[in-house]
């Protein structure tokens, strides 16, 4: 996840644990890749053989990715990056006032996966989509609109998606798809990494 500050003590965040991203980094390293993991504010152990860059905000994650991605063959956008940030962050803690509403003015964060997919010499770009409804439709639209090579989509719900150890994915690419059934995120990451390598090899053999 990323945390977008409201004031020095509060932030906007989401329910992501970061477990899937760390599982993907571990699976990629086990497959023989040199892995750079740009990690948001989570308390997870860095996988063996992985270079970790810690960030907090969407802007910091964008900058870290763009500084490093030119040397990458594959970019996996697994992080649950905040879609919005505060237009102005308060310098001091905002005090609670009785019976008064608090209005926060939000602006969109930079779309990291779109930025990478728009590069003239882009890597193989894998996106993720966590949705509560119409998962297939939203994922296929995102694949096309953002110019991705592949997208892994999941339904967010009870015992699936965020803050749990298991998940299921529906993986799409330009001319195909594959379902990965409910499994531990560590196993799911290995299965997804196998598909990514297969599709990467297929793209680069033509």
> Nearest CA to 22 among 1, 3, 47?
47
State the maximum Cα–Cα separation within the chain, in Å, rounded to a whole number. Answer: 65
Residue tagged active-site, from 14, 67, 99, 159: 14
Given the DSSP bridges, would you call strands 166-173 and 150-155 parallel, antiparallel or unpaired?
antiparallel
> Nearest CA to 152 among 173, 134, 132?
173
92 catalytic? Reply is no
- Can you tell me the distance from the alpha carbon of 179 to that of 138, in angstroms, rounded to the nearest whole number? 16
**Beta carbons within 10 angstroms of residue 196's beta carbon:** 23
- Can you tell me the distance from the alpha carbon of 104 to that of 87, in angstroms, rounded to the nearest whole number? 8
Active site residues: 14
């Amino acid at each position: 996840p990323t945390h977008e500050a409201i004031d020095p003590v509060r932030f906007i965040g989401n329910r992501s644990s970061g477990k899937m991203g760390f599982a993907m980094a571990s699976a990629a390293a086990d497959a023989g890749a040199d892995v750079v993991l740009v990690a948001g504010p989570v308390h997870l152990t860095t996988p063996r053989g992985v270079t970790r860059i810690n960030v907090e905000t969407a802007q910091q994650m964008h900058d870290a990715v763009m500084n490093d991605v030119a040397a990458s063959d594959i970019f996996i956008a697994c992080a649950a990056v905040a879609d919005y940030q505060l237009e102005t962050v308060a310098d001091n803690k905002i005090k609670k006032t009785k019976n008064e509403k608090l209005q926060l003015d939000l602006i969109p964060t930079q779309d990291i996966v779109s930025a990478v997919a728009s590069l003239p010499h882009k890597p193989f770009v894998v996106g993720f989509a966590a949705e509560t409804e119409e998962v297939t439709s939203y994922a296929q639209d995102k694949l096309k609109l953002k110019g991705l090579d592949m997208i892994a989509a999941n339904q967010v719900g009870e015992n699936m998606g965020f803050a749990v150890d298991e998940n299921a994915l529906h993986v799409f690419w330009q001319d195909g798809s594959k379902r990965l059934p409910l499994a531990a995120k560590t196993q799911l990451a290995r299965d997804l990494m196998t598909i990514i390598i297969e599709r990467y090899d297929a793209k680069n053999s033509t």
